[in-house]
């Protein structure tokens, strides 16, 4: 996985970087808080930046990645017990999501795209995979 495991960004940003690294060359849609969903091709991922056909984005601003064709082979960083900056936010939500694995959930998005009904199919360190309609994934 990534070399950033021991940095301040190890909870969700490093985990998202690891997912994005596996999607280099693929067309995806990213959700960021400040704009509508962005259709793009991931060209490179390096030093917490994703370099794309539509510009470069700091990974810390990416809320979700929509993958038009589901991938069952994404490797997620394993969940670890955090005691740092993210432990008060990520750890409790991870515990809830672990209980929801295999169940249908309603994912509220940022209002730029329709909310999603899907099934929690995988949970990793700072990342949850929700498969909706059998054809789409939100990471």
132's CB contacts (< 8 A; 6+ apart) are 107, 116, 117, 118, 119, 138
80 lies in some domain: yes
CA-CA distance, 112 to 65, in Å (whole number)?
Answer: 14
45 lies in some domain: yes
25 lies in some domain: yes
What are the DSSP calls for 44-111, one per residue?
EEETTEEEETTEEEEGGG--EEEESS--TTPPPPPP----STTTTTHHHHHHHHHHHTTSEEEE---S
3 lies in some domain: no
Domain that holds residue 23: 13-138
Residue 115 gets which letter from DSSP?
A: -
7 lies in some domain: no
For 6-56, write each residue's pLDDT tens digit. 555 656 788 899 999 999 999 999 988 877 888 999 999 999 999 999 999
98 lies in some domain: yes
pLDDT, position 9: 60
Structure tokens at 86: 């993210």
Please state the domain count of the chain. Answer: 1
Candidates 126, 134, 135; CA nearest to 63 is 126
pLDDT, position 131: 86
In the block, tokens 């670890």 appear at 80
The pTM for the full model equals: 0.81
For 74-125, write each residue's pLDDT tens digit. 899 888 776 666 677 778 888 898 999 999 998 776 666 667 788 999 999 8
6 lies in some domain: no
5 lies in some domain: no
- Beta-carbon neighbour count of residue 31 at 10 Å? 20
CA-CA distance, 41 to 39, in Å (whole number)?
Answer: 7
């Amino acid at each position: 996985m990534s070399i950033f495991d021991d940095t301040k960004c190890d909870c969700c940003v490093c985990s998202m970087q690891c997912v994005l690294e596996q999607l280099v060359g693929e067309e995806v849609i990213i959700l960021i808080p400040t704009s509508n969903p962005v259709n793009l091709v991931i060209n490179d991922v390096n030093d917490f930046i994703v370099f794309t056909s539509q510009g470069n984005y700091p990974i810390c601003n990416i809320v979700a990645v929509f993958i038009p064709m589901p991938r069952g082979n994404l490797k997620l960083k394993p969940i670890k017990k955090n005691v740092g900056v993210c432990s008060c936010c990520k750890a409790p939500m991870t515990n809830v999501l672990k209980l929801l694995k295999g169940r249908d959930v309603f994912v509220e998005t940022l209002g730029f795209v329709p909310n999603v009904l899907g099934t929690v199919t995988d949970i990793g360190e700072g990342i949850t995979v929700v498969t909706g309609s059998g054809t789409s994934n939100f990471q």
